[in-house]
Amino acid sequence: MTATDGRHGFFGRLLSVDLSTGTSRVVEFGTADARKHFLGSGLAAKILYYDFPNDMDPLDETAPLLFISGLFTGGTLPGTSKLSVCAKSPLTGIWNEATVGGHWPAEFRKTGFDGVILTGRCPELSILHMTKAGVAFQPAAGLAGKDAYEAGSALTAKFAGRAKVAVIGPAGEVGLPIASIMFDPPITRVAARSGIGAVMGAKRIKAIVVEGDPSVHLPIARPDELKAELKADIEEIRKNTVGLTNFGTSGGVEAVEKYGDLPIRNWQLGSWPEGAKKICGQAMQPLMLDKHYSCYACPIRCAKIYKNDRLGLHGHGPEYETIGMLGANCLNDDPEALAEANEWCNRYGIDTISAGAIAAFAIEAYERGIITKKDTGGLGLGWDGKTVVALVHKIGRQEDIGLTLGLGVKRAAEKLGNNASELAVHTKGLEYPAHDPRGHVGMALNYATACRGACHLEALTYFLDRGIPAADFGYTTPPNPHLSSDKPPIVVNMQNYLSVFNPLGMCKFLFVGRVGPKKIARWLQLVCGWDATMEEVLLTGERLFNLKRMYNVKLGVSRKDDILPPRLFAEAKPDGSAKDVLPDLGSMLHRYYKLRSWTADGIPTKEKLATLGIEQAACAKAYARR
pLDDT digits (tens, 9 = 90+) for 69-99: 999 999 999 999 999 999 999 999 999 999 9
Q: What is the pLDDT of residue 473?
A: 98
pLDDT > 90 fraction of the chain, expressed in percent and rounded: 96
List, as one string, the DSSP characters of 272-319. -HHHHHHHSHHHHHHHHEEEEE--TT-SS--EEEEEETTTTEEEEPPP
**What whole-number distance in Å separates Cα of residue 124 and Cα of residue 20?**
10
Average pLDDT across the chain, whole number = 97
Question: β-strands 23-28, 126-131: how paired?
Answer: unpaired
Q: b/e string for 243-270 if b means 16 or more Cβ within 10 A?
A: ebeebbbbbbbbebbebbbbbbbbbbbb
> Does residue 123 contact residue 110 with C-beta atoms inside 8 Å?
no
pLDDT greater than 90 at residue 132: yes
Q: What is the pLDDT of residue 160?
A: 86
> Does residue 424 contact residue 568 with C-beta atoms inside 8 Å?
no
- Coil, strand, or helix at residue 534? helix
**What whole-number distance in Å separates Cα of residue 297 and Cα of residue 299?**
7
Name the pLDDT band for 620 (thresholds 50, 70, 90). low
pLDDT greater than 90 at residue 108: yes
Q: One-letter amino acid identity for 432? A: Y
Cβ neighbours of 187 (radius 10 Å): 18
Question: From its phi and psi, is residue 89 left (phi > 0), alpha (psi between -120 and 50) or beta?
Answer: beta
Question: β-strands 83-88, 164-167: how paired?
Answer: unpaired
The pLDDT tens digits for 427-476 are 999 999 999 999 999 999 999 999 999 999 999 999 999 999 999 999 99
Least confident of 341-355, 553-567, 607-621: 607-621
Mean pLDDT of 164-171: 99
Integer angstrom CA distances of residue 553 from 109, 448, 561: 33, 14, 10
**What whole-number distance in Å separates Cα of residue 357 and Cα of residue 409?**
7
Give the distance, in angstroms, between the CA of residue 542 and the centroid of all CA atoms in the same chain.
19
The pLDDT tens digits for 241-282 are 999 999 999 999 999 999 999 999 999 999 999 999 999 999
Paired with 115 in beta bridges are 14, 68
**What whole-number distance in Å separates Cα of residue 615 and Cα of residue 554?**
14
pLDDT greater than 70 at residue 626: no
pLDDT greater than 80 at residue 625: no
Mean pLDDT of 173-188: 96
> Does residue 244 contact residue 298 with C-beta atoms inside 8 Å?
no
Q: What is the pLDDT of residue 2?
A: 45
Spatial CA neighbour of 296 closest among 156, 83, 101, 112: 101
Q: What is the pLDDT of residue 6?
A: 72
- Coil, strand, or helix at residue 186? coil
The pLDDT tens digits for 311-332 are 999 999 999 999 999 999 999 9
Q: Identify the helix (H) or strand (E) that includes residue 156.
A: helix 148-159
Helices (H), 368-433: 373-376, 385-397, 401-405, 409-416
pLDDT greater than 70 at residue 3: no
Angle at 483 between CA 479 and CA 489, to 5 degrees: 65
Q: What is the pLDDT of residue 54?
A: 86
Mean pLDDT of 188-207: 98
Q: What is the pLDDT of residue 56?
A: 94
**What whole-number distance in Å separates Cα of residue 192 and Cα of residue 190?**
5
Phi/psi at 236 (5° precision): -65, -40
Cβ neighbours of 277 (radius 10 Å): 14
**What whole-number distance in Å separates Cα of residue 257 and Cα of residue 43?**
37
Q: 399-405: list long-range contacts, CB under 8 Å, 24+ apart.
A: 400/375, 400/376, 401/362, 401/371, 401/375, 401/376, 401/377, 404/375, 405/358, 405/359, 405/361, 405/362
Integer angstrom CA distances of residue 413 from 176, 364, 371, 419: 16, 12, 10, 8
Name the pLDDT band for 115 (thresholds 50, 70, 90). very high
**What whole-number distance in Å separates Cα of residue 283 and Cα of residue 385?**
16
Phi/psi at 477 (5° precision): -125, 145
> Does this model's pTM top 0.85?
yes
In the chain the domains, ranked by start, together with CATH numbers, are 13-210 (3.60.9.10), 245-420 (1.10.569.10), 442-499+533-624 (1.10.599.10)
**What whole-number distance in Å separates Cα of residue 577 and Cα of residue 581?**
9
Number of residues that make up the chain = 626
**What whole-number distance in Å separates Cα of residue 278 and Cα of residue 331?**
11
Mean pLDDT of 547-567: 98
Paired with 77 in beta bridges are none
Burial class (CB in 10 A: 0-12, 13-18, 19+), 21: exposed
